[in-house]
A and B are shown apart, each in its own frame.
Chain A
Amino acid sequence: QQQVKQSPQSLIVQKGGISIINCAYENTAFDYFPWYQQFPGKGPALLIAIRPDVSEKKEGRFTISFNKSAKQFSLHIMDSQPGDSATYFCAALSMNTGFQKLVFGTGTRLLVSP
């Protein structure tokens, strides 16, 4: 129940295309869903996050879509650039429990070809 399933494992997108990464969860107590971006040799950096009271959040080229009934959320990267090539992790946690333990997906390695 604590798992977050992430797909695909890897993704190759042409420059200018749309990158889509999907995640699914089981625990309905999760109420905060961040996405982290990790470049080689670096720690994960928070990219964008959403709470279940909204169905979509957009920041620049990055959009999270959230489907509460399906318990799924996805990251869309519009106009993908070579600089977006990184590993992306979705995560989930339950803030209401007061014990903010992030559960991570398995990661998606994105390569944007020039």
Chain B
Amino acid sequence: SAVISQKPSRDICQRGTSLTIQCQVDSQVTMMFWYRQQPGQSLTLIATANQGSEATYESGFVIDKFPISRPNLTFSTLTVSNMSPEDSSIYLCSVTGAGNTIYFGEGSWLTVV
């Protein structure tokens, strides 16, 4: 299985600021994804992080709000821009590992005050 490390694991942020979340995988992977899980809710895909090109965003998510980088096959970042309390969520990095199994990191728990 792929080992996924996310930083920060938890943060409290001021309204109007931006925060960048890092995702590091212990092996090269083709597919990397970013999900959001709002309190008590299910997981929603934000975007697919494409290596060497722009991320592919799902409906309701835009690059200006959630810019994503993917400089290589083991690393990606997600920035949550101009945060509001509604952005308080768990942000999860996900990768496709061997056998096309999809794994998740432990998540980055953001609280916006």
Could you tell me how many residues of chain B have their Cβ less than 8 Å away from some Cβ of chain A?
A: 22
Q: Is the contact region of chain B dominated by helix, strand, or loop, or is it mixed?
A: strand
User: Contact: B104 with A45, CB < 8 Å?
Assistant: yes
Q: A100-B31, A101-B48 are in contact. Are A44 and B100 (CB under 8 A)?
A: no
A89 beta carbon closer than 8 Å to chain B: yes
A34–B102 touching, CB < 8 Å: yes
* B48 surroundings in chain A (CB, below 8 A): 99, 101
Contact of B43 among A89, A95, A100 (CB under 8 A): A89
Q: Is B106 touching A42 in the complex (CB atoms < 8 A)?
A: yes
List, in ascending order, chain B residues with CB within 8 A of A34's CB: 101-102
Specify which of A36, A46, A102 is in contact with B45 (CB 8 Å cutoff): A102
Pull 22 A–B residue pairs with CB atoms less than 8 Å apart, ordered by A. Answer: A32-B100, A36-B104, A42-B106, A43-B92, A43-B104, A43-B105, A43-B106, A43-B107, A44-B104, A45-B104, A46-B102, A49-B101, A89-B42, A99-B48, A100-B100, A100-B102, A101-B33, A102-B33, A104-B42, A105-B42, A106-B41, A107-B41
- Chain A residues near B (Cβ < 8 Å): 32, 34, 36, 41-46, 49, 89, 93, 95, 99-102, 104-107
B interface residues (Cβ-Cβ under 8 A, vs A): 1, 31, 33, 41-45, 48, 90, 92, 94, 96, 100-107, 109
